[in-house]
Each structure stands twice: as structure tokens, then as C-alpha cells.
Amino acid sequence: MLRLENTLTGRKEEFKPTRGKIVRFYTCGPTVYNFVHIGNLRTYIFEDVLRRALRYEGYKTLQVMNITDIEDKIIKKAKTEGKTIKEITIPFTRSFMEDLKKLNIEKPEIMPRATAHIKEMIALIEKLLQKGFAYKGNDGSIYFDITKSEGYGKLAKIDKKNLKAGIRIEADEYNKDEAQDFVLWKAKKEGEPSWKSPFGPGRPGWHIECSAMSIKYLGESFDIHTGGIDNAFPHHENEIAQSEAATGKIFSRFWLHGEHLLVGGEKMAKSAGNFYTMRDIEKKGYDPTAFRYLVLSNHYRSKLNFTWESLTAAKNGYQNLRDEIKRARAMADKKDKHNKSKEKEYLSIFKQAIENDLGAPEGLAEIWNVMKDKDLSPVSKIFLAEEMDKVLGLGIAKMKSRPVTLEVRKIIKEREMARTEKDFNKSDILRNKAEELGYRIEDTPKGPIAIGI
């Protein structure tokens, strides 16, 4: 039974979807005005592990991840660079999709763009106005009145007494410490994009985007909402407040939050010069999957301190694993038998780790236990590693050595002959020759094998 820590209750709870075998879950997506940073990518990796784990448990996923393509920062950037909104959002959406692919993050079933759902946002705001949860400010913008929201603060555990109602926050750049009436619809400003609405021309605030799109695709009440911990307040709190006010139903039953990624012990910030994206990682010669390996080595609910040393260690770990897999493949024989009882045992330990609030570090350690088990046949090792990788997503199924060429096979034979003749000099030369051709010769109990490097 899968157990997940729910931010809403502060407890680990057994998880089951409410509608049959389908898990409906929502993931806050990127604001596409820049490359996403590695802290965000960490969150997307944890959410990918969640969706894979759900499928491993036998469920189907219906995951929605929004693309925020209208927001203060986008408008500001378009103005400074003299571009249209789309000239900013289209290329950065594309690069975001590339990042997901590089990190083996599966594409969510639905990825709606905010600007394609203005109608749904307007309808939701109208409902809030009708029910008396929203009001028009003197500036013409529509705000949500947090004093009307009974459960406000229940996710972030904020005391209602400290709410500063009546102070309005108009910007998408929100105050992370204080609860204030937040904007639902921003009245049109000169030179900014706007849409028509019954309450005047303008554009939606950031929070309403997620509520409108999740309700549209997942229903008024769904299973899981995920995001980075920095979004828990006020973004998610506001999502809950406005959605539950409009529908009168529980918005999401489970809330899962990925912890911060720190760089060298500090918060990542452009001004501090410790702000990294996937491009920085690749520029330094790291495989993106090494970053995924690093993320998997830490539980999503603990802070991850990123350093280049930690990434190097992850890179080595990942390469060693790849070598082990290739070696096992080279040694696997059709005549080999699966060790069924041991396989069952390993899979049960692995499942337990994942079912305990997505224990990816323990899951990864289990792959290593498998690879190091001397009593396990290579076919069993491959089977188990590929099975566990359904959740971890390191691309183990693709870790294959190139086919050994005729030329390399000849070299192996010649080398064997040289070795029987105790001509170790010749044997070394032949080994180097194979290496130049991209193959490493290794001597195993089954005889020499060649592994594509």
C-alpha cells in the first residue's frame, strides 16, 4: 500500500484514488520567461517519480501540468527586450520540454497553457463574485477576500488571527510571509496584454490559472496536487481558498511538496551567482541523467545541497551503474536461469521503499545491492534493474553495449592466444587496440567479454 506524506494533514497517509484506478493529479508548471533552474527541475523529477510509482502500483495517471504563459515577469521581459509575449513564451516552452526529455521526465497527459483558458478563469472569478468571496478594488481589479474563506491557512498552517485582510496584493510576485487579499483579475494597464471580461478588460492573476485549469481537466475534487515547497504559501493556499469557495468541495485530498535545492548551502539566486540551469550542467560536461541520479539519491522531502562535487559523485555513481549493467548484459546467457525467489525478495524490498513516501534513495540503493549480488545470475540482475527503473527512470533499458564487431571478436581471440603463450606484452597491445575501437575487454569467470565504452 502506497503511503504519502500529505502536507495538508502533516501525516503519512495511505493513498488510494477516489475514482477507480485513475489517479488525477495536478502539478504546478513553469512560468515560461526563462530557462527553468535546477531547483525547479528537482521538483519535476520528484513528480515524475510519483507518476511512475503510481503506475508501478497498478494505477493509471491523469496528470495535468500547466504552462504559465501570461504573468508579470513575462510582460516585463517582453517590454525590456522589445518582443511580443509569444516571442518570449514559445521558445522557453520548447526549451522546458527539452529539459524534461533530457531528464527522462515523462510528459504529463495534459499540459494546458494559461492563455488558452481565460474563459474558464473568468467563469471561476464570476462564481466567486456571485458568492461574495471576491470584490472589485478601487483600481478596477478583482480581489479575493481571505476573511470570507473559512479554512484559509490550513495548508501552510497559518493562524487566521494574523491574516492581514484588506491589504491587497496585486503583483504576481507575492509576499511569502503575509497573507493578504490576492488578485484574481488585474485591470488592464496601458501597454499590457488584456482580455475582455464581464468585469472589465484585464488579465488573470497567477493563482486563478491553476485552479481553473485543474478543475477543468481533473474535476472540482481530485487526488493529488504537487509542487515545490516555496509554492505551498501563498500560491497553493490561495488555490485551495478560491477553488473551495467556488465549488464548496475539497479541492485536492493530497498535497505533496518537494523541498528546496540549495547551492553550496545557500538559496539559489541570480544575484549571488549560484543560479544554474540544465545548460550550465551540460556546458560543464555532465550528462543530464547524472543530475537525475543526484536528485534520486536524496529524499524529495529533505533539502538537497547541490555542489559541483556532489554532482561529480553522482556522475561517477551513474557511470558505474551503467558499466555494471553493460557488464551484466555482456555476460547474460540465454541458458542462464532466473532466480525467482531472490527476484521476488528484492522486488518486495524495493516496493516497500517506494511505498514509504517515495523512498527513491533506498530504491536506488536496492539496484546497487542487486548489481553487487554475486549469487545472482546476470539475467536476474538485468531483469531486476529494469523493473526498478520503471520507477527511478535512469534509462536502464537503454544502457546497452554496442554489438561487438567481427574485428573486436578477432582481437579477443588473438589476445587469448597471446595469453596462453604468456606473451603479455602482445596481450596488452591487443587490449589497447580494442579500447581504441571503443571496447573494453574484461576477463570474467565465463571468459573474456567486450563492453562498448
| Cα–Cα distance, 71 to 211 (Å, whole number) | 15
Q: Which stretch binds Zn ion (CB under 5 A): 28-36, 38-46, 362-370, 441-449?
A: 28-36
Residues 201-220 vs Zn ion: string with x where CB under 5 A? ---------x----------
For residue 70, the minimal CB distance to Zn ion (Å) is 14
Determine, following the binding rule CB under 5 A, whether residue 232 of this chain makes contact with Zn ion. Answer: no
- Closer CB to Zn ion, residue 5 or residue 237? 237
Cα 244 to Cα 69, 150, 236, 331: the distances in Å are 25, 10, 12, 58
- Closer CB to Zn ion, residue 31 or residue 104? 31
Regarding beta strands 222-228 and 202-204, do their DSSP bridges make them parallel or antiparallel, or are they unpaired? Answer: unpaired
Q: Measured from the CB of residue 358, what is the shortest distance to Zn ion in angstroms? A: 20
The string of DSSP codes covering 283-345 is HTT--HHHHHHHHHTS-TTS-EEE-HHHHHHHHHHHHHHHHHHHHHHHH--TTPPP-HHHHHH
Does 28 sit near Zn ion (CB under 5 A)? yes
User: In angstroms, what CA-CA distances link 439 with 323, 397, 433?
Assistant: 12, 20, 9
DSSP lists the bridge partners of residue 255 as 225
Angle between helices 85-102 and 288-296 (to 10 degrees): 70
Least separation in angstroms between residue 68's CB and Zn ion is: 8
Q: Which is nearer to Zn ion, 250 or 365 (CB)?
A: 250
In angstroms, give the least distance from the CB of 28 to Zn ion: 3
Stretch that binds Zn ion, among 21-29, 85-93, 351-359, 442-450 (CB under 5 A): 21-29
In whole angstroms, the minimum distance from the beta carbon of 340 to Zn ion comes to 45
Contacts of residue 235, defined as CB under 8 A and 6 or more positions apart, other chains included, come to: 28, 174, 206, 207, 210, 227
Using CB under 5 A, which of the segments 20-28, 276-284, 285-293, 345-353 binds Zn ion? 20-28
Nearer to Zn ion, 181 or 237 (CB): 237
Bridge partners (DSSP) listed for residue 166: none
Q: Identify which of residues 155 and 210 has a Cβ nearer to Zn ion in the complex.
A: 210
Site string for Zn ion, 112-151 (x = CB under 5 A): ----------------------------------------
**H/E stretch holding 346:** helix 340-355
Distance of closest approach, residue 431 Cβ to Zn ion, in angstroms: 56
Residue closer to Zn ion (CB basis): 26 or 346: 26
- In 3-state terms the chain splits into helix, strand, coil percentages (rounded to 5) of 50, 20, 35
Of 28 and 67, the one with the shorter C-beta distance to Zn ion is: 28
- Indicate whether 67 belongs to the interface with Zn ion (CB under 5 A): no
The least distance separating Zn ion from the CB of residue 231, rounded to whole angstroms, comes to: 6
Phi, psi values for residue 103, rounded to 5°: -95, 10
**Contact set for Zn ion, span 292-331 (CB under 5 A):** none
Which 3 state secondary structure label does DSSP give 249? coil
Q: H/E/C letters for each residue in 81-144?
A: HCCCHHHHHHHHHHHHHHHHHHCCCCCCCECCEHHHCHHHHHHHHHHHHHCCCEEECCCCCEEE
Q: Least Å distance between CB 239 and Zn ion?
A: 6
CA distances from 142 to 56, 121, 173, 190, 237 (A): 44, 12, 17, 18, 18
- Specify the residue, 45 or 392, whose C-beta has the smaller distance to Zn ion: 45
Tell me the number of residues near Zn ion by CB under 5 A.
2
The least CB distance from residue 190 to Zn ion, in Å, is: 28
For Zn ion, the closer CB: 28 or 74? 28
Which residue number, 47 or 366, has a Cβ lying nearer to Zn ion?
47
Nearest approach in angstroms of CB 213 to Zn ion is: 9
Which residue's C-alpha cell is 471561476?
124
Where along the sequence are the contacts to Zn ion (CB under 5 A)?
28, 210
